[in-house]
Amino acid sequence: MNGPQQFLAAIVGVAALAIFPLFAPTYYAGLMIPFFAYAIALLGFNLLFGYGGLLSFGHAMFIGFGAYGTAIMAGVYGVKSFELVLVTVVIGSAIASIPIGILCVRYTGIFFGMLTLAFGMLFHSFLFKFYYVTGGDSGMRVPRMNILGLEFAQYNKITFLTGPFYYYCLALLVIAALLMWRIVHSPFGLHLRALRENPRKAEYLGVHVRRFRLAAFVISAAFGAAGGAILGFRIGLADPELVYWTQSGQLVFMTVLGGFHHFLGPVIGALAFTFLQDQLQSLTQYWRFVLGAILAVLVIGFPAGIAGWADLVSWRPKRKAAA
């Protein structure tokens, strides 16, 4: 799809998401909150992977930063404003990612992936073992907070999540997508794609390879923390399993499923994965096996992902008309 088609598809998608709670059962409306969280996190992840060519196997670490940062600020220090918590964990995650990124961006390919996986597992071990600080396997409680300065006390948790908080997260996703669109279509985004295609040639042209990769790493960490804050708020708990390596694998699956060569591909992948996983869990206890088989078939049959398949379908009629 070209630019105008992508913009039109995005408008239609936002409109569909806006009216979804009006017609869908409450359960499915609540299921959309994790989708919003992962979609925001994947926008940052794909800046690193799809545009920068760096595949991280430990990116769930930053989701954990967001969730545990939310738990500490709201649960320990009693901060009631979700906006303040969100801004704080995003900035904190970006700062914390700098020393990690400085070490990781020195490498590429499998070495970068393994190093990020190592940091992710170190963070998981810290959360799991330091019980008196993090709550260990019990996690840390995330209390309910105000959004836009309003308590919405008349809503119980379910109606709050599927009502005001649903549209709040939808607005956050739109803002995050617009911000990321500006980033990837800026000179910074063009430099990042040049590094992905031929880092040596880009370096000869004066591009500071490690600086640009580090910047992409920090931005992706900030987006991941924003998604983690939403997940922590929705669940009411910051759990060490949010950081486990399988969660990082799910982020990769979602991105590949949707199509990492397309800007909206990871968002589409997050939506498809969320509903597919939920339906399989309700049908069989072997849902992981079935999910893995389905994803393998999709990746092999449609290597460009769902977004790439949609491009192919829309391109064929144009080709026939031109012929």
- Type of residue found at 194: A
In the three-class reduction of DSSP (H, G, I as helix; E, B as strand; rest coil), residue 151 is classed as coil
Assign 208 a pLDDT band (cuts: 50, 70, 90).
confident
Report pLDDT for 7.
Answer: 75
pLDDT for 316 beyond 60:
no
pLDDT digits (tens, 9 = 90+) for 19-43: 999 888 899 999 999 999 999 999 9
Q: How far apart are CA 281 and CA 297, in angstroms?
A: 19
Report pLDDT for 322.
Answer: 46
Report pLDDT for 221.
Answer: 96
Across the chain, what does the average pLDDT equal?
A: 88
Q: How far apart are CA 236 and CA 242, in angstroms?
A: 13
Tokens read off for 64: 């954990």
Q: Where are the domains of the chain?
A: 28-244
Give the residue carrying structure tokens 């393994």: 114
How far is the CA of 236 from the CAs of 137, 141, 250, in angstroms?
15, 6, 21
Report pLDDT for 157.
Answer: 87
pLDDT for 65 beyond 90:
yes
Look at phi and psi of residue 279 and say left if phi exceeds 0, alpha if psi is from -120 to 50, else beta.
alpha
pLDDT for 240 beyond 80:
yes
pLDDT for 15 beyond 80:
yes
Pure H helices in the chain: 3-23, 26-46, 60-70, 82-104, 109-129, 131-134, 157-162, 164-184, 187-197, 199-204, 209-235, 245-258, 265-283, 287-301, 305-322
Question: Which of the listed ranges 12-26, 79-93, 198-212 does the model predict with the highest average pLDDT?
Answer: 79-93
Q: How far apart are CA 299 and CA 301, in angstroms?
A: 6
For residue 262, the tally of other CB atoms under 10 A from its CB is 22
pTM: 0.92
pLDDT for 62 beyond 90:
yes
How far is the CA of 261 from the CAs of 1, 8, 90, 120, 186, in angstroms?
12, 18, 26, 25, 17
Nearest partner of 39 among 209, 257, 213, 237, judged by Cα: 257
pLDDT digits (tens, 9 = 90+) for 113-166: 999 999 999 999 999 888 888 888 888 999 999 998 888 888 888 899 999 999
Tokens read off for 165: 């908080």
Quote the Cα angle for 286-290-294, to 5°. 170
Nearest partner of 262 among 191, 179, 184, judged by Cα: 184
Q: How many CA atoms lie within 13 A of 223 on its CB side?
A: 29
Q: How far apart are CA 52 and CA 59, in angstroms?
A: 15
Look at strands 237-238 and 140-141 and give their pairing. antiparallel
